[in-house]
Amino acid sequence: MSADAGTKSGTGTDTDQSWRGIAAGEADTIDSADRIRFTGGSGQLLRELLRPYRRAIWILVAVVVVENAARLAIPYLVKVGIDSGIPPIRENDDLGPLGVVVALVLGATIVQAITRQIFLVRSGRIGQDLLYQLRRRVFRHFQRLSPAFHDDYTSGRIISRQTSDIDAIYEMLETGFDGLVTAFLTLVGTAVILMFLDVKLGLLALLCGPFLFWITAWFRRESAKSYRVARERVALLIVHFVESMGGVRAVQAFRREPRDLEIFDVLNDDNRRANLVAFRLVAWFMPGVRLIGNITIAAVLVYGGYLAYHGEVTVGVLAAFLLYLRRFFEPMMEISQFFNTFQSASAALEKLAGVLRVEPSVPEPVTPVPLAHRRGGLTFEQVRFSYVDGRDVLPGLDLDVPGGQTVALVGTTGAGKTTLAKLATRFYDPTSGRVLLDGVDLRDLASDDLRSSVVMVTQENFLFTGSIADNIRFGRPGASDADVEAAARALGAHDLIMALPDGYDTQVANRGGRLSAGQRQLVAFARAFLADPEVLILDEATSSLDVPSERLVQHALRTVLAGRTAVIIAHRLSTVEIADRVLVMAHGDIVEDGAPADLVAGGAGHFSDLHRAWLDSLA
Amino acid sequence: MATTSRDVGLDPDPDQPPAASVRSLWRLRGYLCPHLGSVAIMLLTSLAVVGTSIGIPLVTRAVIDGPIADHELGPVLPLGLLALGLGVVEAVLIFVRRWVQSTAVLAMETSMRHDLYTRLQELPMSFHSKWPAGQLLSRAIQDLSSIRRFSGFGLIFLVVNIVQVVAVTIVLLGMYWPLGLVVAATAAPIVWLSMTFEKKYVVMSRRVQDQQGDLATLAEEGALGFRVIKAFGRSEHVASEYERQARSLHASSMDKVHLSARFWTFLEVIPNLAVCVVLLLGAIGAGQGALTTGELVAFITLLLSLVWPVSSLGVILAMAQEAMSAAARILEVLDTEPAIVGGDRTIAEPRGHLRFEHVDFAFPDAPDEIVLRDVCLDVAPGETVAIVGGTGSGKTALTALVPRLHDVTGGRITIDGVDVRDLELGHLRSLVATAFEEPTLFSMSARENLTLGRADATDADVQEAIDVAQAGFVRDLPWGLDTRIGEQGMALSGGQRQRLALARAVVARPRVLVLDDTLSALDVHTEKLVEDALRTVLGATTGIVVAHRASTVLLADRVALLQDGTLTHVGQHRTLLAEVPAYRELLSADAGDRVPA
């Protein structure tokens, strides 16, 4: 296991990083292949994304070929101008041939300008459309995936799929694509023209090809490696930085600063060394290419001079050769830079393709069954469920909650209460058996029907950027201000909200707002009541409230829950008083079931024990 | 400049971009000083490269005009060798520059990042609660990179390109002045175009960046709020909002595409037009014998060699602009003086006698909102006091004052008679340990997380603390205490995290232990076990316990009731329960009528 930790933290450093600890399956590390092709999933994803643009791309290819032809024609025209434009002037002041050539240069310039403009705008549009489609698809996909997926795949990774990965693709589209296409066409076009101009000189010039190929291949391989290491290093640096800033309260309270700085310095220096390796590769590669280019130019100059002396080539050809050779070597720089963006983009596409391949474990029904009678009756039939194979959380649950009943669910941690709630809201599907809402299997219900009927409030009282009113309105997007206020009033949250700096317009994301956990929870409650579902599930929803707020909510619940089915899960039994029925769960089974008073009066059961312990805890 | 003209002690505002100026960049020159030799080498080699890049076309001219025109083969080889020599020298110079540059600028960037991080660690909570970690991160990564890029590349080439343009133009003017004038004239529109383009481009890029940021926020909320979105079935709602934002990003990006398409096209058209004019006039001149053919070839080669230096001036100026604002943003942090600095006193034999003397407190960014007023409390060594109060009564603020996460705005807090502000900060924080309600776990091993406050804790200390906090589950993690937890590691439940935070505070062996509603996420059973174990710890330690529940209050010897920032009652739990209605209201669940029996 220490070997595992060693390979993951890289090979370039021997500093002790045991503080980092061991984690299973580093899902985000890039695989070791320093490939430069889109393979497997990423290739398929790319093809899929490009499919609607096939025609547009062919047009682009045509445009870019014309553009490069015009671009490459200019040195050739310069040659023609020198060879056939100057002699007529010398001989009889005839400007005609030169005029034609200059007009052609001008024409080539204009063609190049127009095609270039078309190419840049069109390829830019395809790139942006593609990004938009990809963003949209990834966002919707994450929303479509089941909570089970989100339980494993941390939110940090979901966010980086949609930010840094998309950015990497954006980077490639913005800078890399144009550069690569132009570089490639320049390379091929120039080689063809050189051979066309003069075969002997052309062959001499192209002798540099193998060397260029070798140095580029070497650089590509090495920079892929070093770049990957550099990216991993900076990722580690970023994690440490963000965590020690985000958790600065704990850092300062526990005098963690020196240790954190020590770790930071190690990571900072690792990052520096990784970048140094990458930078030094460029320091070899760039002058290397230049050296090959300069040697070629010198050779062409000597051999070309020799050929010109013998009258085998004209001065114009020699001039054109030297101009073309310059252009031949320039794109090499572009290509080398493209490798890195290409590598990140390919890794990013690979990760995105992997995520997009995941299918929700809780799929939408193909032919949804409409909900005819909305009464809020909830039935569990022989429901078995396990998160991990072979370890049943619910071994076979039978439960019938008639519409309008308020049920309190009690039991120790791990008894299966939250699992039951997650099955009732179809965050998960049962391994076997059925969960029915008003007689319809949840798996046959359209998501819209299900979500408008069943709403769950948990401890996780996430609030979105926006005002308090916006957040309450999240429960029913069309609701008027009066509806929003009514929902808050029903919960007794109105006064609390009005006491905030801007009342309902107080921005929750604004740190100045200082909403306490309890206040946030009240907003979450109001949100659920505004949604007005037939079935309301409260999973530990009051646990972060202090006693007065909890009491406020309890009182509100009496009225709010009237006519609704409710399943209330609570560690603390204070909630039980409003329940019509109490279910005590243990090891995934219902061990007691009855009206609260009867269970307490029974005297010997789990519930009466719990009740007594709870009374004690109140002191 | 903007950052220094602000009142000392007021933190800068993260939403207000600081003014960028040459001065802010200049103020960071100290980081370049150790590398001045390297900078000199970079500059000299770059200038020498300008020489060679002018030299090679001149050799070409010599070949064409000499051996070829004179029909003399002899000088071709020596001239070729000269071109080769120049070519090799050029490559070596480029290599030297890049090699030296990579070492120097990376070292500079690393030391700036070190200083930035050190300063950020010193800055108090009032600073950090205003600055999201992402904002600081972009300073530590992107801003430092843009300064690095500018000082390693932009600064050098700003000088070199200007020298090259001037030198080549002089050479061209010397060769055939009418054509030289044409070339010099084309430089003007290119520079002008580049500068206006950059200005517009910076504005557009800023807009695109902002929209990308907004989109990232939506992506973040989509991930963090996923369960809420799912529970309400609002996927369509958030997705359409996301798409709306993505479309406006698309529109701005297309504006950017259009602008750069126009610019890059112009940039290529202008030199080509110059080639047209030079070819026309040059060929006529050559025909009339005003210049040689070799000169014409050299001329065009040199002209084309100017395209990059001239057009990149725009890019370099943009880079400079970027580096300036980056420098201003970094100075904004470096210039912020830590508002909370330690004194020089230590307590040799701390007993843990904690006193609040007429303590007032308001958050620095809302000085009119009084959070605590005239709080007086004496906690004897070894005594435990529970703080009870409604939502927003200032409980958490009160506990944050003891380890000086915030400073009192009036009155004082003493430990064993010494004002906490006179104590050495590290010493004070070794005396006080807090277990927070919302515990922060770092992406490190469980052991590293537990020994946060005492790196030299023995394994026995750690095990003991785990037992006290009922956090035995860490031993069952796949790699035990070496398992990585936190965002990048094993996910833990809220209750598990709270227990680890508690164990962390216990490991620190403080004289004063602060529990800020640490047990709220535990179920009744676990809570009871933790409380039993805590009693022994608290028996020997001074304790401040923020409590919502009666069961937690029972850990304490006395209770203090906090109402609207003032301590209204201090006494025994039972006494307060009997005598103070407000207290009863807060803590007593009024068990009698709970379950109709």
Cβ of B279 within 8 Å of Cβ of A241? The answer is: no
Beta strand B512-516 with B432-435 is parallel
Separation CA B279–CA A166 (nearest Å): 47
Cβ of A102 within 8 Å of Cβ of B276? The answer is: yes
Q: Which of B182, B229, B257 to mutate to test the interface with A (most CBs of A within 10 A)?
A: B257
**ipTM associated with this complex:** 0.84
Give B468 to chain A, closest Cα distance, Å.
19
| Residue-wise pLDDT tens digits, B198-216 | 778 878 887 887 888 888 8
Is the predicted pLDDT of residue A193 greater than 80, yes or no? Answer: yes
Distances (CA, A) of A298 to A252, A291, A294, A530, B48: 65, 11, 6, 81, 19
Cβ of A254 within 8 Å of Cβ of B429? The answer is: yes
Minimum mean pLDDT among A77-81, A353-357, A375-379: which range?
Answer: A77-81
Give A144 to chain B, closest Cα distance, Å.
8
Minimum mean pLDDT among B280-284, B431-435, B502-506: which range?
Answer: B280-284
Amino acid B424: pLDDT: 92
Amino acid A3: pLDDT: 36
Minimum mean pLDDT among A101-110, A265-274, A308-317, A353-362: which range?
Answer: A308-317
Closest partner residue to A287 (CB to CB) among B92, B220, B301 is: B92
Tokens encoding B72: 């003399």
| Residue-wise pLDDT tens digits, B524-578 | 778 888 888 888 888 889 999 998 777 788 889 999 999 888 999 999 988 988 8
**Which chain B positions have a beta carbon within 8 Å of A215's beta carbon?**
none
Give the chain A residue whose CA is nearest to the CA of B395: A516
Separation CA A594–CA A582 (nearest Å): 6
**Which chain B positions have a beta carbon within 8 Å of A600's beta carbon?**
595, 597
Tokens encoding A54: 């096939």
- Mean pLDDT for the stretch of residues B27-52: 88
Amino acid B15: pLDDT: 60
**Which chain A positions have a beta carbon within 8 Å of B405's beta carbon?**
249, 252-253
pLDDT band of residue A308 (cuts 50, 70, 90) is: confident
| Residue-wise pLDDT tens digits, A445-454 | 998 889 889 9
| Residue-wise pLDDT tens digits, A138-182 | 999 999 888 888 877 777 778 888 888 888 888 888 776 677 777
Cβ of A323 within 8 Å of Cβ of B304? The answer is: yes
| Residue-wise pLDDT tens digits, A588-617 | 888 888 888 887 776 667 777 777 777 766
- Greater confidence (A29 vs A472) lies with A472
Amino acid A603: pLDDT: 63
**Which chain B positions have a beta carbon within 8 Å of A257's beta carbon?**
121-122
Cβ of B227 within 8 Å of Cβ of A460? The answer is: yes
Average pLDDT, chain A: 82
Amino acid B478: pLDDT: 84
pLDDT band of residue A39 (cuts 50, 70, 90) is: low
- Mean pLDDT for the stretch of residues B18-29: 79
Amino acid A589: pLDDT: 87
Give the chain B residue whose CA is nearest to the CA of A598: B597
DSSP 8-class letter at B475: G
- Greater confidence (B106 vs B260) lies with B106
Minimum mean pLDDT among A29-33, A200-204, A347-351, B63-67: which range?
Answer: A29-33
**Which chain B positions have a beta carbon within 8 Å of A477's beta carbon?**
234, 237
Distances (CA, A) of B105 to A236, A529, B33, B77, B123: 21, 59, 11, 42, 27
- Mean pLDDT for the stretch of residues B221-226: 86
Separation CA B287–CA A81 (nearest Å): 11
Q: What backbone phi and psi angles, to 5 degrees, belong to A300?
A: -60, -40
Give B564 to chain A, closest Cα distance, Å.
13
Q: Which of A255, A442, A611 to mutate to test the interface with B (most CBs of B within 10 A)?
A: A255
Give the chain B residue whose CA is nearest to the CA of A307: B68
Give the chain B residue whose CA is nearest to the CA of A284: B95
Helices marked H in A145-207: 147-152, 155-160, 166-171, 177-197, 199-206
- Mean pLDDT for the stretch of residues A262-269: 93
Distances (CA, A) of A500 to A181, A528, B369, B373: 58, 21, 12, 20
Separation CA B373–CA B361 (nearest Å): 7
| Residue-wise pLDDT tens digits, B135-174 | 788 888 888 988 998 888 888 888 888 888 888 888 888 8
Coil/strand/helix, residue B439: coil
Separation CA A134–CA A53 (nearest Å): 14
CB A365 within 8 A of CB A151: no
Percent of chain B past pLDDT 90, that is, above it, reads 24
- Greater confidence (A3 vs B338) lies with B338
Give the distance from CA B579 to its chain's centroid.
52
Amino acid B597: pLDDT: 32
- Greater confidence (B368 vs A470) lies with A470
Amino acid A442: pLDDT: 92
Amino acid A270: pLDDT: 93
| Residue-wise pLDDT tens digits, B450-459 | 988 888 889 9
Amino acid A387: pLDDT: 79
* DSSP letter for each residue of A230-280: HHHHHHHHHHHHHHHHHTHHHHHHTT-HHHHHHHHHHHHHHHHHHHHHHHH
Closest partner residue to B87 (CB to CB) among A81, A147, A297 is: A297
Amino acid B11: pLDDT: 52
Separation CA B282–CA B305 (nearest Å): 17
A572-609: b or e for each residue (b if 16 or more CB lie within 10 Å)? bbbbbbbbebbbbbeebebebebebeebbeeeebbbbe
| Residue-wise pLDDT tens digits, B302-340 | 887 777 777 677 678 778 878 888 898 889 889 988 888
CB A424 within 8 A of CB A378: yes
- Mean pLDDT for the stretch of residues B114-122: 93
**Which chain B positions have a beta carbon within 8 Å of A78's beta carbon?**
275, 279, 300
| Residue-wise pLDDT tens digits, A525-545 | 888 889 889 999 988 877 767
Separation CA B332–CA B130 (nearest Å): 14
For chains A and B, count residue pairs whose Cβ atoms are closer than 8 Å: 510
Cβ of A105 within 8 Å of Cβ of B272? The answer is: yes
Cβ of A159 within 8 Å of Cβ of B238? The answer is: no
Give B226 to chain A, closest Cα distance, Å.
7
- Mean pLDDT for the stretch of residues A552-571: 83
Amino acid B26: pLDDT: 86
Amino acid B51: pLDDT: 87
SS3 assignment for B19-88: CCCHHHHHHCHHHCHHHHHHHHHHHHHHHHHHHHHHHHHHHHHHHHHHHHHHCCCCCHHHHHHHHHHHHH
Minimum mean pLDDT among A594-598, B104-108, B460-464, B568-572: which range?
Answer: A594-598
| Residue-wise pLDDT tens digits, B47-96 | 898 888 888 878 877 877 776 677 777 777 888 888 899 999 999 999 99
> What pairs with residue B434 in β-bridges?
B514
Amino acid A302: pLDDT: 86
Give A34 to chain B, closest Cα distance, Å.
23
- Mean pLDDT for the stretch of residues A36-55: 78
Is the predicted pLDDT of residue A110 greater than 90, yes or no? Answer: yes
- Mean pLDDT for the stretch of residues A72-80: 83
Separation CA A96–CA B278 (nearest Å): 17
Give the chain B residue whose CA is nearest to the CA of A518: B391
Amino acid A2: pLDDT: 37
pLDDT band of residue A391 (cuts 50, 70, 90) is: confident
Is the predicted pLDDT of residue B590 greater than 80, yes or no? Answer: no
